[in-house]
Amino acid sequence: MARKPLRRKPPPKKAKKRKKQPASSGKKSVNLFAGLFVLLLLGSLIAFPLLQKRSGSNSSQSPVSSHEPQQPKVPPTFKKEGVLYFIKSTTGDSLRIDIEVAQTEAETTQGLMFRTHINENQGMLFIFDKAEMRSFWMKNTYLPLDIIFVNEQLEIVTIRHNAQPFSRASQASTAEAQYVVEVKGGFCKRHGIEEGDRIAFQIGQS
């Protein structure tokens, strides 16, 4: 009788051991997230002042003053503070007017705003520290004006005739000016005042 070959049982399979994830990997992800958050926070803290500074520099180019005058209950009236002469360059003939003087920032900002009347022989003289390109506008100004730009040698370099009330259009000089005279609209044409003529003024004179 033939003997059946004995079958050997295969050895039992060993259970695969799962690799344990190091406990530090969770901590690493938390630390990475915290680091990114800190970087973003620092970036915003640095960027915000720079943006604020940049917007401030841009706003300084706007003609609107941060201390814009408010309309008074009673319209301002002319206050004589000196006299001014227009002197013809061709003949030397002169024409005298009474002037109100604007020297401080507040006086310059307000100018002839809110005035409802100005006489033919009245005007306002703006005095600046140095000559440079100048630009005025007619916001809150009820009367048409002639705007006369004068250089440091007291020579008229630009005249803006009949600037329209309430207009925000720039009334700019064509050359550097240290003084500006504002008179009633049409004054220069009525009296023959031209670019190239000169001015002279005395403050405190009656």
Look up the CATH number of domain 82-203.
2.60.120.1140
Burial readout 19-36 (b: 16 or more C-beta within 10 A, e: otherwise): eeeeeeeeeeeeeeeeee
Residue 72: pLDDT band (50, 70, 90) is confident
Q: What is the pLDDT of residues 78-126, one digit of tens each?
A: 999 999 999 999 999 999 999 999 999 999 999 999 999 999 999 999 9
Rounded percentage of the chain residues whose pLDDT exceeds 90:
63
Q: CA of 190: how far to CAs of 11, 134, 157, 174, 176, in Å?
A: 124, 25, 19, 22, 26
Going by pLDDT thresholds of 50, 70 and 90, the confidence category of residue 74 is confident
24-33: average pLDDT:
58
- The pLDDT score that the predictor gives to residue 7 is 52
181, 190, 191: which is closest to 82 by C-alpha?
A: 181
The rounded distance, in Å, linking the Cα atoms of 59 and 53 is: 10
Model pTM greater than 0.85?
no
Band (pLDDT 50/70/90 cuts) for residue 71 is confident
Mean per-residue pLDDT of the chain: 81
Residue 129 pLDDT > 60? yes
Examine the pLDDT at 1 and tell me if it is beyond 50: no
Is 60 exceeded by the pLDDT of residue 51? no
Q: Where are the domains of the chain?
A: 82-203
